[in-house]
Amino acid sequence: MVSHLFKTPRLLAGGMLLMLITAGHASGQDVQVSNARLSLLPGEQPGAGYFQLHNTGDETAVLVGAQSEAFEDVEIHMSSDENGMAHMHAMEQVAVEAGERFEFAPKGHHLMFIGRKQALAEGEDVEVLLQFGDEQRLPVTFEVVSPAAL
């Protein structure tokens, strides 16, 4: 369980390399994603994606969306607690400044995976395409985990 926290990024290495090479020069942007997990329960209920973004480039990286063939929709969300009430709302984008890290973590920012198209079991991989403001696309592999493992 704890090992998830330190798991190395499971990126589509080839695809990502290509992205960084092609996009790297145009925008000077490099984004690394690590520890990508998709918390899911049995049934049709939506899941939550957690990961860490590291902007190793020298310009602000702006995550504007995500998509996955395994789900009808993926949205950027944020949970918050105000006076003992749990709120959640969709976000247009999340900006990560050059050199900064940003954590999508339980009870904070998350990707909300809505409308699963196929059954997914713990331990399976889900391919997700993160979309950034400068048209950069970053494919990331999320591992399906139980919320109990977080």
Stretch that binds Cu ion, among 9-17, 18-26, 53-61, 86-94 (CB under 5 A): 86-94
- Please give the size of the binding site for Cu ion, defined by CB under 5 A: 3
Please give the residues from 95 up to 124 whose contact with Cu ion meets the rule CB under 5 A.
112
Identify which of residues 80 and 93 has a Cβ nearer to another protein in the complex.
80
Q: Cβ 42 to another protein, closest distance in Å?
A: 6
* Under rule CB under 5 A, residue 41 binds Cu ion: no
Assess contact for 23 and 64: CB atoms under 8 A.
no
Min CB(87)–another protein separation in Å: 5
Non-local CB neighbours of 76 within 8 Å, separated by 6+ positions: 63, 64, 65, 66, 90, 91, 92, 93, 94, 109, 111, 112
Indicate the residue among 20 and 112 with the shorter CB distance to Cu ion. Answer: 112
Structure tokens at 65: 């969306």
How far is it, in rounded angstroms, from Cα 127 to Cα 88? 24
Q: Is 139 left (phi over 0), alpha (psi -120 to 50) or beta?
A: beta
- Which residues fall within 8 angstroms of residue 114, CB to CB, at 6 or more apart? 46, 71, 72, 73, 74, 75
List interacting residues with another protein (CB under 8 A).
39, 41-43, 45-48, 72-73, 77, 79, 81, 84-89, 106-107, 110, 112-115, 146-148, 150
| C-beta of 63 vs 112, nearer to Cu ion | 112
Note whether 88 binds Cu ion by CB under 5 A: yes
What residue 142 binds from Cu ion, another protein, none (CB within 5 to 8 A, per partner kind)?
A: none
Q: How far apart are CA 104 and CA 22, in angstroms?
A: 26
